[in-house]
Amino acid sequence: MLLKTEYEKVEAYITKDSSIIRELMHPAVHGNSKQSIAEATVPPGGVTILHKHGIAEEIYNITEGSGIMTLGSEEFEVCTGDTICILPGIPHRIRNNCEKELKIFCCCAPAYSHEDTELLE
């Protein structure tokens, strides 16, 4: 079985944290089994809602732009090429602090679910 996604055919949607998401590979859609990867886009000046995941571990890889990451009680700058690990239960959000879109590959294991996302604001 070939598990392949064509980027141009993936429709974007908005998640509970206000990110614009393209789900590039997800078990509920594509047939893989344990993880998901999505591209998140945060517009210039935009910020995601502070949230946490009870079960999923997330990895963010910044592919374009820069921002300010809140991870627990810490805030730090992130830019293209940076990778951040977000452990289950850790509150997090990201703010785009540049004049172009902030793009992030978001990997979740187990796969992302709205039910595992708790908004904190």
CATH number for the domain harbouring residue 29: 2.60.120.10
35 with 54: CB under 8 angstroms? no
pTM score over 0.95: no
- The Cα-based distances of 40 to 2, 5, 96, 109 in angstroms read 24, 16, 12, 16
Task: Name residue 42's beta-bridge partners.
Answer: 102
Query: Given phi > 0 = left and psi -120 to 50 = alpha, else beta, which region is 17?
Result: alpha
Q: pLDDT tens digit string along 31-48?
A: 898 999 999 999 999 999
Does residue 1 fall inside a structural domain?
no
Structural domain containing residue 76: 11-119
Looking at residue 5, what is its pLDDT? Answer: 87
7 compared with 85, residue with greater pLDDT: 85
Does residue 2 fall inside a structural domain?
no
Looking at residue 2, what is its pLDDT? Answer: 57
